[in-house]
Amino acid sequence: MAVKSIISATTLVRGNVRGAGSLEILGRIEGEVRVDGDVTLAEGSAVTGDIDATTITVAGAVAGNLNASDTLLLEAGARVVGDLTAPRIGIADGALVRGKLDTSGGAPERRPRAVATAEAPAPAVRRPARREEPPKARVQPEPPPAPAPARPPARPAPAAATQRAAAASQRSAAKEPPAPSQGARKPPPPVVPALRKGARARKKKSKARG
């Protein structure tokens, strides 16, 4: 563990970095970093990829998930876009983070999966519940020998009302948009041919008769 590795400021690594020992990054790494030891990202460094290590200290930029088995420290000037997982997480004033934080510790690699599975079913349960209600109202009124006669008249009524309202809104919506669009583009051409000679006179006559 005493072995130290340094990625200098002008150094670019495209690929994965793995192994044991402490690692100080002053340059750029585009790839995964998995080190059994301490990883330090100095100011001006940039890592695009996940970092797994015992201890991670960040003063540079990271686009990827940080996973520390011991401690994760974000110093002032650190910019991290990714999830942080460690039993201990420290974020200094001036550090930027966009992502989830998990300090539940233990086995850090398993926790994110558990969280993901816990979150996923929750909306899955809610959505079917919402979907189930409207089908009942729609399906039951269609067959005449419905087992529950009390429900169909109660629900279709508002449904019909909403349909009418929706239809009305559609009509009004259908009428309204062309007018402003025509008015906005070229108002005179459609208006003038729309009214033929004597049209107003006919209307007046019909109104007077009616």
Partner 1 sequence: MAGTLIGEGLTIEGELTSDEEIVVQGTVRGTLSSGDAVAVAATGVVEADIQAASLSVAGQVTGNATASERVDLQAGGRLIGDVRSARLTIADGASFKGNVDMEL
Provide φ and ψ at 161, rounded to 5°: -60, -45
Q: CB nearer to partner 1: give 5 or 54.
A: 5
User: Would you list the DSSP string of 71-107?
Assistant: EEEE-TT-EEES-EE-SEEEE-TT-EEES-EE---SS
Binding mask 6-45 for partner 1 (x = CB under 8 A): xxxxxxxxxxxxxxxxxx---x---x---x----------
Q: CB nearer to partner 1: give 4 or 100.
A: 4
90 neighbors 76 (Cβ within 8 angstroms) = no
Size of the site for partner 1 (CB under 8 A): 24
Q: CB nearer to partner 1: give 51 or 84.
A: 51
CB count within 10 Å of CB 74 equals 24
Q: CB nearer to partner 1: give 23 or 97.
A: 23
60 neighbors 43 (Cβ within 8 angstroms) = yes
Q: Per CB under 8 A, does 203 bind partner 1? A: no
With CB under 8 A as the contact rule, the residue among 3, 76, 114, 179 that binds partner 1 is 3
Per DSSP, the three-state class of 44 is coil
Per DSSP, the three-state class of 159 is helix
Shortest distance, position 53 Cβ to partner 1, whole Å: 12
- Which one of 2-10, 96-104, 173-181, 183-191 is the stretch in contact with partner 1 (CB under 8 A)? 2-10
Query: Is the C-alpha dihedral spanning 153, 156, 162, 165 positive or negative?
Result: negative
Per DSSP, the three-state class of 35 is strand
Q: CB nearer to partner 1: give 5 or 104.
A: 5
Q: Per CB under 8 A, does 5 bind partner 1? A: yes
Tokens for 30, please give them.
Answer: 């585009």
Shortest distance, position 27 Cβ to partner 1, whole Å: 7
Which parts of this chain interact with partner 1 (CB under 8 A)? 3-23, 27, 31, 35
